[in-house]
Each structure stands twice: as C-alpha cells, then as structure tokens.
Amino acid sequence: MKIRHLMLAVAAVVAGASTLSTSAFAQAKEQFFPLLSYRTGPYAPNGVPWANGKQDYLKMINARDGGINGVKITFEECETGYATDRGVECYERLKTRPGVTAFDPQSTGITFALTEKAPNDKVPLITLGYGLSVAQDGMAFKWNFPLMGSYWTGADILIQHLGKKEGGLDKLKGKKITLVYHDSPFGKEPIPLVQERARMHGFDLQLLPVTAPGVDQKAAWLQVRQSRPDYVLLWGWGVMNSTALKEAQATGYPREKMYGVWWAGAEPDVKDVGEGAKGYNALALNTSGQEPKFIQDILKHVHAKGQGSGPKDEVGQVLYTRGAIISMLTVESVRRAQERFGKGKVMTGEQVRWGMENLVLDQKRLDALGLTGVMQPLSTSCADHMGSTAARVQTWNGSKWSFSSDFIQADEQILKPMIKAGADKYLADKKMTRRAGTDCQS
C-alpha cells in the first residue's frame, strides 16, 4: 500500500514538474522545425514515408551545408496518430520552442483546428496539396500556405484530364462520374468544385462517401457496380486506397477508369494490390525515384552515415519525395526571409511567413537545389499562397508509377470566383476583414 502511494506521489510530482518547467525561454540560436507526423494508426503506411522525407531533408541540409546560411536546424517529431486533439497538443507543445519555423500538420482535420490558432501564435502553416482550399487567397488567410495545390486544383485537373481523354470537355456531357471519398473534411473538400464542373459540362455526378478509415467499402462499390459510371474519382488516404482498389478488382470495375488524387497515388496504396492495381491512375505533384540530385544528397549525407529515418530503399518514394519537398520549401522560405531580415540569423515565425509569401523558385533555382524535373517552378505572392497549380497524371503499371499526361494547370477562371466567394464567406462568418494591401510589406 505504501509503495503504491509513494509511486503515485512521485508520478504526480514528476508530471507537475515536467509540465511547469517548459515555460523557460531561451534566445534561439537554432532554427527549430516542429514535425507533426503519424507513424501509428490506420494512416501510418502513408504517414511514415512522408515523415521520413521531411526529417531526412533537414538532416541533409545540416550535414551538407551546415544549416541555412550557417544557422543550424533542429527538429523534433511529435506523433499525432492523425487525431485532431493529439495534433493540437503537439502543436501547443512545439510552438513555444525558441526559433520555431512553420507547421506541416499532415492532416486536413488538424489543419482546420490550427487555422484558428496560428494567427494568434504567429506561426505559418504549410499544407502542401491539402488543407483548406480557399486558403489559396492569401489576402484572407495570412498564415495558411497550401503550396503547389489544393483539393480544388486537384479535382479541376482531374476533370480536365478526363475531358482531354474524351476529346473535349463538352464530350463529358451525359457521362457518369462517381466520386468515392473519405467521409471527412479531406474527402468532402473537392465536392463543390466537382459539382461546379458537373454543372458546366453536364455530366452526372454521383457522390459515394466511405466511412473513415475506409476499411469497409462494400456498400459504395455495390453502388458502383449498379450504376457503372464512366469514371471513378478516388479521394482516399491510407488504408482506404488499397481497399478501394481491391474492391474495384472484386467488383470488376476497370482500374484504368479510376483516378485518384495525389494522396491516393503512392506506393503504399498500390503495392499490396500489385497486379490488381495495374492501370490505375492518380495525380502526381512530384516525381518519385532516387535519381534526382537532392535525393542522392540525402542518400550520401544521411543514409550513408547510418542516420536515415527509414529503410534506404524507401528513399525517393512518392510520399517520401513530397515530404522532402515540404521541408525544402520551408527551408527555402527561411532562406528567403534571411535575405530580407538578416543572413545567418534565426528567423521568427512572422519572418518565415514573409519568406513563404515571397518565395520564388524558378527553374534555375530548382536546378541549383537538385530538384530538376521533380516539381514545377513555383512563386508565391501576397494574393496567391499556392504558387503553382500544375500536376500530372501518373499510371501504375504493376510495379512502378509512370507519367501518362503533361502538366495540367487548374483553370483560374473557375477557381478564382469560388475561392473569392469561399474566403469572403469564411471572413464574414468570423467577422474578420481582408488584409489591406499595405499589410503585404510586413
């Protein structure tokens, strides 16, 4: 009995001490990268390579360049398990560290919660290819950066590609397109855009939600079997993707007519299905493979020294590369901020935000960074927090992904008014106002 009480008391004291002692502040000497990740749970197969890529790129910058203009990078990972409340806890834990740079929440749900918090804490959110689609409007969302694409641009590119396949967008009239989506903000985000496109081109849109995490999809695929759509758009993540492909195989739905978003187009999604996924298409924001120079650098400076975060043969996979790109963009934002606020200094979240808003990565710069051909050039501005909307379609041939289309740009004509309206509604709901033009200089 006594020992038990003693242990309880000790546990209570240690818990109290550890929570109260974190308030000590120190002058930042290092640029701190908080890394939210999930290596457990139903989304772990996709979360792990993503997290490894983010981490390895930072290690590589430290090992190869000695940091950003001499400023060493430190980082710490925090496991969210894709759960919003744990994600918020991680954010609160890491945001107070000295020299905190930017957050990549790795989850749409966490992004929504952090969007409310980031402006108060003055730390930018980088949500590459996910998050809040209307956040492209930098005048309304000062702290959100959906770089390189959002669900709306993704959906738009897919519909354009289908139009091209049919020989013109007007040929889509009367066709049946089914959206099989993860029933969460992640899966629901593209719906308004696909509906808008359906109105414009006159195709039938069928919406089939799949309850998270997506292990049970029998009902949805039964409906696919009944309605026999011309195309299926797959908006899945994690275990939902491979399950959908297996269900399609069981239903006899041709994989060639299935198109996934870029979150449904990585190795973990198709590997287990193997031959059964042959012909399946998905969007690609970036290339995969170990050929690009920056991946080679990671192999040379990190993995060769035994400091890699994951198995060596997974380096350069689709999601790994995307994670590395996210870290690269954050590092480049710091570098850009240093150009204005002082080279070799630690940047604050506000300064990094400026850097992210004034990021210019043209082809020359990408070549210098060793990312030739990996991604499209990108340049952000005050009004445009996305920088580039181009993506390609890739096809799984049973053993690897290969590109099956050119780069397609999302249609500004359609996106712009929708983003404007959505951002205005968001601001009106929150009783907030747009940033003034003068705010762009800050």
Partner 1 sequence: MFYRENGQFKTSYRADQQILPIRQDRIALGLILLIAFVAVPMFASDYAFRAILIPFVIMALAALGVNILVGYCGQISLGSGAFMAVGAYGAYNFFARIPGMPLIPALIMGGVCATFFGILFGLPSLRVKGLYLAVATLAAQFFSDWMFLRIKWFTLDSSSGSVSVNQLQVFGFPIESAVSKYLFCLALLVVIALLAKNLVRGAIGREWMAIRDMDVAASVIGIRPMFAKLTAFAVSSFIVGVAGALWAFVYLGAWEPAAFSVDQSFRLLFMVIIGGLGSIMGSFFGAAFIVVLPIFLNQFLPLFLGLFGVEISTAGIAHAELMIFGGLIVWFLIVEPHGLAKLWSTAKQKLRLWPFPH
Question: Is 186:214 a contact under the CB 8 Å cutoff?
Answer: no
Show contacts with partner 1 in window 299-358 (CB under 8 A).
none
Residue 216: helix, strand or coil by DSSP? coil
Count of residues touching partner 1 (by CB under 8 A)? 51
Q: How far is the CB of 179 from partner 1 (least distance, A)?
A: 13
> Looking at 28, 30, 74, 112, which residue binds partner 1 (CB under 8 A)?
112
Binding of partner 1 at residue 120 (CB under 8 A)? yes
Q: Which stretch binds partner 1 (CB under 8 A): 7-15, 98-106, 137-145, 220-228?
A: 7-15
| Burial of residue 58, with CB atoms counted within 10 A of its CB: 0-12 exposed, 13-18 middle, 19 or more buried | buried
Q: How far is the CB of 132 from partner 1 (least distance, A)?
A: 8
Question: Is 392:403 a contact under the CB 8 Å cutoff?
Answer: yes
Residue 14: helix, strand or coil by DSSP? helix
> Looking at 10, 13, 15, 368, which residue binds partner 1 (CB under 8 A)?
15
Q: Cα–Cα distances in Å, from 79 out to 76, 84, 85, 264, 268?
A: 10, 11, 11, 22, 20
Q: Which amino acid makes up residue 1?
A: M
Binding of partner 1 at residue 22 (CB under 8 A)? yes
- Select from 94, 102, 118 the least CA-distant residue to 22: 94
Q: Which stretch binds partner 1 (CB under 8 A): 66-74, 81-89, 321-329, 404-412?
A: 81-89
Binding of partner 1 at residue 428 (CB under 8 A)? no
The Cα 388–Cα 248 span in angstroms is 33
Q: How far is the CB of 239 from partner 1 (least distance, A)?
A: 15
> Looking at 89, 170, 216, 439, which residue binds partner 1 (CB under 8 A)?
89
Alpha helices in 208-317 (DSSP H): 218-227, 239-251, 267-270, 293-298
Q: Which stretch binds partner 1 (CB under 8 A): 139-147, 292-300, 356-364, 425-433?
A: 425-433
Binding of partner 1 at residue 429 (CB under 8 A)? yes
The Cα 46–Cα 238 span in angstroms is 6
The Cα 92–Cα 103 span in angstroms is 11
Binding of partner 1 at residue 19 (CB under 8 A)? yes
Closer CB to partner 1, residue 184 or residue 376?
184
Q: Which stretch binds partner 1 (CB under 8 A): 84-92, 227-235, 344-352, 368-376?
A: 84-92
Q: How far is the CB of 281 from partner 1 (least distance, A)?
A: 25
The Cα 195–Cα 99 span in angstroms is 43
Binding of partner 1 at residue 88 (CB under 8 A)? yes
- Select from 49, 12, 427, 31 the least CA-distant residue to 269: 49
Joined tokens for residue 43: 């989304």
Tell me, residue by residue from 177 to 216, as one string, x for binding to partner 1 by CB under 8 A and - for no binding.
------xxx--xx-xx----------------x-xx----
> Looking at 65, 77, 166, 272, which residue binds partner 1 (CB under 8 A)?
77
Binding of partner 1 at residue 3 (CB under 8 A)? no
The Cα 366–Cα 293 span in angstroms is 11
Q: How far is the CB of 439 from partner 1 (least distance, A)?
A: 19
Binding of partner 1 at residue 13 (CB under 8 A)? no
Binding of partner 1 at residue 28 (CB under 8 A)? no
Question: Is 69:343 a contact under the CB 8 Å cutoff?
Answer: yes
The Cα 183–Cα 209 span in angstroms is 5
Q: Which stretch binds partner 1 (CB under 8 A): 37-45, 248-256, 290-298, 325-333?
A: 37-45
Closer CB to partner 1, residue 188 or residue 365?
188
Peptide bond into 213 cis (omega under 30): yes
Q: Which stretch binds partner 1 (CB under 8 A): 13-21, 271-279, 285-293, 372-380?
A: 13-21
> Looking at 69, 72, 74, 113, which residue binds partner 1 (CB under 8 A)?
113
Closer CB to partner 1, residue 63 or residue 78?
78
Q: What DSSP string describes 61-95?
A: HHHHHSSBTTBPEEEEEEE-TT-HHHHHHHHHHHH
Binding of partner 1 at residue 51 (CB under 8 A)? yes
First to last CA, the chain: 61
Tokens 């239903």 correspond to 251
Q: Where along the sequence are the contacts to partner 1 (CB under 8 A)? A: 1, 4-5, 8, 14-15, 18-20, 22-23, 37, 39-40, 44, 48, 51, 77-79, 81, 84-85, 88-89, 92-93, 96, 108-109, 112-113, 115-117, 120, 132, 183-185, 188-189, 191-192, 209, 211-212, 422, 429-431
